């Protein structure tokens, strides 16, 4: 069990149960069982929250066969219809790293007085561990327009789902709704692969950056050591 500051609520502490697969020796069947028990993956490590006094982090998966995109989602797909979509083995590039840096600086990270060089060094390590230390079956979604990478995301492939690892998109074009596009494209890919679920990771109902997942349903949440319908 590991403990540390919470990444969502800095005033709280987090406690995680960890499994490690440093050499990526877990089979796809083993990964399926682990993720279906509510674990998430970061690099070679699988973790599940067991925090004292807080149960807000809830694994969330979309029932893909029953998902029907509404008007807003259809507009997102139409707005980005000219994009080139590829699914392939995850592969890092300088262009993806520059986008990753812009995304982190705009949305998530507070680096205080750190120099730009130290920030880039920290983010380079984070991106490789977060998105490119994967099991062999993982896939990367890349969205390009006129040859330029607008978004990319890493997913684990299990026996019954695509499981989102991390998603990055161009922060300077919010009108394109590229984060939503990544999810919609993943839902389409789940159907193409003949799988049941899109696992979107942790859902936090009251957190402004994590509550959006409730827009994608019908869905199930992992509570009380079992999956149940999201009400």
Please determine, for residue 108, whether its predicted confidence score (pLDDT) is greater than 80: no
Counting the structural domains of the chain, the total is 1
The answer to whether residues 188 and 64 touch, using CB atoms and an 8 Å cutoff, is no
Indicate which CATH number applies to the domain containing 60: 3.40.630
- pLDDT score recorded for residue 151: 98
- Decide if 55 is inside a domain: yes
- Decide if 190 is inside a domain: yes
Please determine, for residue 170, whether its predicted confidence score (pLDDT) is greater than 70: yes
**What does the DSSP assignment read for 58-106?**
EEEEEEGGG----HHHHHHHHHTTTSEEEEES----HHHHHHHHHHHHH
The answer to whether residues 149 and 83 touch, using CB atoms and an 8 Å cutoff, is no
- Looking up tokens 């590829």, which residue turns up? 86
- Decide if 231 is inside a domain: no
- Decide if 57 is inside a domain: yes
- Decide if 229 is inside a domain: no
- Decide if 79 is inside a domain: yes
- Decide if 139 is inside a domain: yes
Whether residue 87 is preceded by a cis peptide bond, meaning omega within 30 degrees of 0, is no
- What is the domain range of residue 166? 2-222
Kindly state the percentage of the chain with pLDDT values over 70.
99
**Separation of alpha carbons 87 and 219, rounded Å:** 24
- Decide if 230 is inside a domain: no
- Using one digit for the tens of pLDDT, what is the confidence trace for 61-70? 999 999 999 9
With bands split at pLDDT 50, 70 and 90, how would you rate the model's confidence at 2?
Answer: confident
- Using one digit for the tens of pLDDT, what is the confidence trace for 13-47? 899 999 999 999 999 999 999 999 999 999 999 99
């Amino acid at each position: 069990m590991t403990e540390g500051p919470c990444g969502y609520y800095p005033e709280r502490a987090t406690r995680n149960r960890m499994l490690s697969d440093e050499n990526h020796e877990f089979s796809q069947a083993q990964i399926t069982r682990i993720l279906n028990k509510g674990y998430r993956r970061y690099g070679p490590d699988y973790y599940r929250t067991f925090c004292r006094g807080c149960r807000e982090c809830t694994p969330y998966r979309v029932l893909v066969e029953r998902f029907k995109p509404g008007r807003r989602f259809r507009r997102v797909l139409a707005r980005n219809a000219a994009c080139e979509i590829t699914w392939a083995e995850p592969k890092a590039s300088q262009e993806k790293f520059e986008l990753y840096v812009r995304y982190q600086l705009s949305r998530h990270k507070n680096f205080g007085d750190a120099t730009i060089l130290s920030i880039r060094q920290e983010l380079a390590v984070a991106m490789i561990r977060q998105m490119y230390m994967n099991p062999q079956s993982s896939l990367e979604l890349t969205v390009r327009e006129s040859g330029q990478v607008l978004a990319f995301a890493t997913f684990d492939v299990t026996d019954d789902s695509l499981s989102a690892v991390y998603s990055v998109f161009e922060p300077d074009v919010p009108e394109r709704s590229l984060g939503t596009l990544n999810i919609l494209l993943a839902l389409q890919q789940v159907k193409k692969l003949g799988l049941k679920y899109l696992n979107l990771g942790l859902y936090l109902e009251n957190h402004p950056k994590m509550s959006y997942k409730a827009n994608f349903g019908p869905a199930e949440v992992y509570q009380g050591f079992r999956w149940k319908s999201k009400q």
